[in-house]
Amino acid sequence: MTDSIPQEDGLSTVDRAVIIQALVAATREMGAKLIRSAHSPIVREAADCSAALLDPAGNVVAQAELIPMQLGSISHTFGPCAAATPPEELVEGDFYISNDPYHGGQHVPDIFLFTPIFLDGILIGFSATVAHHIDLGGGKPGLNPEASDVHQEGIIFPPSRYNLARDWQGGPLERFIRANVRMPDATIGDLDAQFAANAIGATRLTELCRKHGPAKVQAAMSEVLDYSERRIRAAIAACPDGVYVGEDAMDDDGLGSGPVKVRATVTVSGSDVAIDFAGSSDQVKSNMNSPFASTVAAAVSCVKSVMTSADIPYNSGAVRPITVTAPYGSLLNPKPPAPVRARLLPTYRVFDAVMRALAQALPEKVIASGYDTTIASCLSHLGPEGYSIYLEIFGGGYGAGPHNDGCDAVDSPLSNCSNIPVESLDMTYPFFRVAEYALVPGSAGSGRHRGGLGFRRTYEILDEEVTFATYGDRFRLPPEGLFGGAPGACAQTLVERGNERIPLASKQSFALRAGDRLVMTTGGGAGYGPPQDRPPALAEADRADGFTAPEVPA
């Protein structure tokens, strides 16, 4: 950076609104570019990716409405990159890259790219994208449930600076990645999509600065951060002061021990919220650990969703009133090299524990627990032309709220991914086909408002030597209702092999044969309020339509 942006003495309300909305529009365009340009169905169809614009200091000022879990940690990931190579040392063509869970990242498959944006030699901001990459090496294709340390989960890129012209486009970084992944065209293709999306963000920000001047744009960036902070603080101040405690638990750690507890103590004081996870379980030996950045993202997402409205921009200013702590060495702030691939399982329990704590203070603004679990389905096959790896994450039924029933068969709140259409799977993966994709009758928890239904997907395996790998939860402990609502149904996975039915654990890998049918059933959402308070006509319609079981009383 050769100079600094001059200060803006005044910014009109109209200019501020125009610039802020232009920044938001740019991030939405970045997200669309990333999704449309991606190679892998997990990004191209499921939209497991995110995009944002940052100011020169690395504060998120605008972001696309994609994955809350990824977006909530972008500034956490940027900080270690800037510490390794200060922004003032960057030049045109440079970029930061990181997926290191122990230096601000999340889990290894999520690669963050930050592109500095210059205007006449002056650094005016950064464009940022993150995408879930289907394979980054590691011990097994796509997903390694048996990993005992993070190094078995794939290549780790520490916070680093590279240059597009020197290190990419056939350069040493691209060649290194190609040599260490099982599907190099897919991985490089998805990274190229991230670079393309970052370039769109850079173009839009420079256009905005040339039109309005960099000083005005910088002033608008600062104002939107302050605006979000003011709105969040006002919402927190409307909540009764107090100390509220909520708990939830994972079924197990995947190695036979459980339940694995998450305990949240939420302290509301004036316009500040402090969330402490002391009392949660220690870190585990399996991949169920949550890097601290993920824990923060989940906790902040819950606070914002409960206490505030959707029109408040979710940026770095929104997190200023919220403090999150977790003991080092715990499930929610593990010591390296603990594996973290399934970090969404404990972070969903973070979301639910904070929700239950806030239910004591704001009962009319919370929802009951949904399935609230990412259950991963990974099928891999090594054929004559190399590896083919399918990976998709599923949700289930949403929890009911004080004024509404839960949604059916959708991804859970922190993920927000779409399903991959069956037609896309048929075109991409010749070694299996989807034989069934249906709602699960009776899986919704009843209540004054009922939960949402889970769903079932059945895969017919067409080739020999196909490997299934998964992690999930709520196979034993169902999502609990609120204020008298009934729990939702649990999940299950099994293999039909001839006349044999082989139950699978929620966290394992399994060798499949041609002719096997893999049946994955996700859980339902819990109900809100006593079932007897539901209007009789709606209760009868629920039973008639299969939303709740016939034996549940009206």
Strand, helix or coil for residue 305: helix
* DSSP assignment of 246-279: EEEEES--SSS---EEEEEEEEEETTEEEEE-TT
User: How far, in Å, CA of 299 to CA of 304, rounded?
Assistant: 9
pLDDT tens per residue, range 20-79:
999 999 999 999 999 999 999 999 999 999 999 999 999 999 999 888 777 666 889 999
Q: Which residue has the higher pLDDT, 275 or 549?
A: 275
What mean pLDDT is predicted for residues 415-435? Answer: 95
What mean pLDDT is predicted for residues 186-199? Answer: 98
Distance, CA of 445 to chain centre: 25
What mean pLDDT is predicted for residues 413-421? Answer: 91
User: How far, in Å, CA of 498 to CA of 306, rounded?
Assistant: 48
User: How far, in Å, CA of 433 to CA of 67, rounded?
Assistant: 28
pTM, 2 dp: 0.95
What mean pLDDT is predicted for residues 527-541? Answer: 94
What mean pLDDT is predicted for residues 364-377? Answer: 96
Q: Count Cβ neighbours within 10 Å for each residue of 204-221 and write b for 16 or more, e otherwise.
A: bbbebbeebebebbbbbb
User: How far, in Å, CA of 287 to CA of 339, rounded?
Assistant: 4
Instruction: Tell whether the model's pLDDT for residue 485 goes beyond 60.
Output: yes
Instruction: Tell whether the model's pLDDT for residue 554 goes beyond 60.
Output: no
User: How far, in Å, CA of 408 to CA of 450, rounded?
Assistant: 10
DSSP run (H or E) holding 52: strand 49-54
User: How far, in Å, CA of 53 to CA of 74, rounded?
Assistant: 10
pLDDT tens per residue, range 262-312:
999 999 999 999 999 999 999 999 999 999 999 999 999 999 999 998 888
What mean pLDDT is predicted for residues 385-389? Answer: 96
